[in-house]
Amino acid sequence: MRRRMPGVSQEEDTPDPLKVESSKYKTPSTGLGKLSHTLRLDAVYLFFQEIRGHSVVEEKKVAILGDMRSACYVSLLHILPTTASITLLVLNWKGYYIGDELQGPVGQDGLRFLGLQFASKMLELLAVASLSTILFALIRSLLIYDTLPFGAMTTGFEFNNISLLWSKEFVATCGATTFSSSRTKILLVSTIVVFTILGATIGPSAAVASQPVLRNWPGGGTVFWLNATSQELWPSHLDGVGLPDLPCISSQNASCVPPNYSLLAMEMLSFWPSPSSVSADGGTVPRLMPEKASISGRYSVHTLEARFIGPFVYHPHLTSATTPSAAVADALSQVARYWNNANTHQCYVGKTCFHYYNDISYTVNALQPLTFVRCSASDINATIQFPRLDQGIEKYPLVNYSSTTIGSQQWFDAATSNGSNPGLSWVELPAADFGRASVGAAVALPGTKTKTGEEGGQILACTIDARWANATAAISFLGGPMIVSGTPALWLGGAQYQLDSTGLPLWPQVTIAPAWAESISSIVTDSSESVFTSLCNSIGRLGNVSKAVSPINAVEAILAVMITDGLARTSSLATILGSLKGLDNGEWIHEFLPKDTVFGTGGSAFNYTYQQGDQSTKFESRTAVNGYGYGITAAPLLSTLVLFIYSLIATIYVVHSLCFAKMTSSSWKSITELVALAANSTPSSVLKNTGAGIATLGILKQPVKIGVIDNRLQMVFDDREDADEIKQNEYYG
């Protein structure tokens, strides 16, 4: 029989199993255990404790920790998502250029984008956990030091579900009148709303903000001046011989028109469809022809674009043609070469530059010629009728042209050299009869011989409407260096009929004197043919425009490209004023590229300053680099705004926790812990008949707090007044 020590009772001698177990195994209280608990990694910590054979039993715990170390542990949960969010904010707001591919091995962008998607998902999960911690801190504070509507107790688990905003719990919280102050109610309700919206949007926002965008990024440019006035570059009236050195005597003269007529003939007009009777396909293949031709200038090539009425699969309202002005195209080409040299230099010396790219485009906004043409046919010796083009789309009434000469047999024979070649006479069209018209053209087409006999000649009366239209001239590296192209917006949609606030055409019209029009169709000395005749003979490679399909539309095409090319060469000898700034110190390099930012416009790279009375015109070129990068566009702007709001909230909470509150708690952070608290609480009459569910808002509006009763933490409703407040660093069961 075991003896008792003197003075020790039987009850004291019997060991308490709970005490024995407690003496061997402790609830996590080490720094690592607290850190794991704070970072919600309890499962990992407890798993390793089980592996080591350390079973842990539940002991009393501190509900409110009032030490700086615990507050620092809680702050760790917010550092990573906040840092990642701020990094994305800086990348997008300040800008960062990557290149034609993401950084890393070539051709592996798919894997890199997948990695960014995973990273953004991790940011979402961490940010939601961070928001959950902040919301729990607010709810826990109200439960301990104030009261909270019963329906708001679980909002910390549901805020990342947008349906919370129309749930009965949230409605009850908004309608509750038991808050200690309206300020507390506003704080709680607004926090729930903001956090719910953030919980629903922070995921897609992180995904968008983390993905580099493939787009044209602003890469600089410069202001420059041409030594010609706007009236000289885009005259409203052309009288006499407007182009220098006409008639042409040398094909090497860049200001001469005829060197380009062969380009227009070969690249465009020679592809006019042939008659189906002699076509190899028997007329079964849809008819198409080139809509672009390259026009040579002094320092560049500008692209002439056209749309023709005719036997084609497309049907514009009017035959139209447009091309950038030669002077503007030459200047833009020169500026593009300067920018390329500046960017190459910056890359060579290791400074910020655009090293890799998919494409580079250089643009300048300027007026450019746009010509519309429509013709009507009549017999010889009949009254010819010109279409009127100022009445609107598809409204082209014919108006008689009173002339005793044009249209007669005598005029026809003289114009066609007795029926051997097409002829052309330019005429003025009075505004009183023909409205707004630039110039008229009377075209004599000789007859043709067919199997059934000889068809007589005809006369075409063509009205020409020439405009200076707003457009953007552009050079694309992939589209060909030094090749300038551009078209006005809606140039095929009737925009020429739009008026400005003063009632004048939005696109100024050009009045063309017959003498100027005659000068662009001068005699080419090497063939003794006019430009017009040579272009007519090039139609469809037939040698005779009268044999072409729809000869009237072919003539419209010829007139449109002739007038457009001629207008584009007004003041074609204009050049950039001034020299490059600081050739010795490279000042011009920094003027061409964005200043103090990754993306943006440039400055002024030429040392010319406009003085009052100078005969010059100002332009601004802009460079855009196509590649991947981070920057502010519509979608990233909204996404970074969401990340900014989250970062601001998390930063304020961390600062408040470390500098002011200096306390923290991680109790009741899961539904299981909240259920355990409810199970340990004394049943309340307030919750009568709610065991199978809650059907009214009144129950959800009931104020509840957590207090101490019988040395245990319990949920306390208004029917209990014997609860004590929770104290810091006190252990509770």
The band of 5, judged by pLDDT with boundaries at 50, 70 and 90, is: very low
Look at 309-318, 391-400, 470-479 and tell me which has the smallest mean pLDDT.
Answer: 309-318
The band of 2, judged by pLDDT with boundaries at 50, 70 and 90, is: very low
Question: CA dihedral defined by 17, 21, 23, 25, rounded to 10 degrees?
Answer: -170
Q: Is the pLDDT of residue 418 over 70?
A: yes
Question: CA dihedral defined by 566, 570, 572, 578, rounded to 10 degrees?
Answer: -160
Give me the sign of the Cα torsion angle 492, 497, 502, 507. Answer: positive
The answer to whether 444 and 416 have CB atoms below 8 angstroms apart is: yes
Report percent pLDDT > 90 for the chain: 48
pLDDT recorded at residue 276 = 60
The band of 22, judged by pLDDT with boundaries at 50, 70 and 90, is: very low
Label the pairing between strands 458-476 and 96-99.
Answer: unpaired
Closest CA to 206 of 635, 701, 722: 635
pLDDT recorded at residue 559 = 96
The answer to whether 81 and 130 have CB atoms below 8 angstroms apart is: yes
Task: Name the burial class of residue 344, with classes exposed (0-12), middle (13-18) and buried (19+) by CB atoms within 10 angstroms of its CB.
Answer: middle
Section 367-386 average pLDDT: 94
Q: Could you tell me which residues come within 8 angstroms of residue 523 by beta carbon, excluding any fewer than 6 positions away?
A: 247, 529, 530
Q: Could you tell me which residues come within 8 angstroms of residue 90 by beta carbon, excluding any fewer than 6 positions away?
A: none
What is the distance between the alpha carbons of residues 352 and 593, in angstroms, rounded to a whole number?
A: 10
pLDDT recorded at residue 543 = 83
Section 644-666 average pLDDT: 88
What is the distance between the alpha carbons of residues 123 and 53, in angstroms, rounded to a whole number?
A: 35
Section 66-87 average pLDDT: 84
Domain ranges of the chain: 1-59, 65-213+634-728, 218-224+576-628, 240-568
DSSP 296-316: E-SS-EEEEEEE--SSSS---
For the segment 527-565, what is each residue's pLDDT rounded down to a tens digit?
A: 677 889 889 988 988 888 888 888 999 999 999 999 999
What is the distance between the alpha carbons of residues 723 and 726, in angstroms, rounded to a whole number?
A: 9
The band of 284, judged by pLDDT with boundaries at 50, 70 and 90, is: low
Look at 127-136, 164-173, 268-277, 572-581 and tell me which has the smallest mean pLDDT.
Answer: 268-277
Q: Whole-model pTM? A: 0.80
Closest CA to 261 of 568, 573, 558: 558
Q: Which two tokens stand for residue 113?
A: 């984008």
Q: Which two tokens stand for residue 601?
A: 């416009």
* Mean pLDDT estimate for the chain: 85
pLDDT recorded at residue 30 = 55
What is the distance between the alpha carbons of residues 518 and 531, in angstroms, rounded to a whole number?
A: 10
The band of 6, judged by pLDDT with boundaries at 50, 70 and 90, is: very low
pLDDT recorded at residue 54 = 65
pLDDT recorded at residue 16 = 44
The answer to whether 338 and 346 have CB atoms below 8 angstroms apart is: no
What is the distance between the alpha carbons of residues 14 and 22, in angstroms, rounded to a whole number?
A: 16
Q: Could you tell me which residues come within 8 angstroms of residue 512 by beta carbon, excluding any fewer than 6 positions away?
A: 237, 238, 438, 439, 464, 466, 563
Amino acid identity of residue 171, one-letter, is V
Best mean pLDDT range from 13-27, 69-83, 318-332: 318-332
pLDDT recorded at residue 8 = 41
The band of 128, judged by pLDDT with boundaries at 50, 70 and 90, is: very high
For the segment 433-467, what is each residue's pLDDT rounded down to a tens digit?
A: 999 899 999 999 998 765 555 677 899 999 999 99
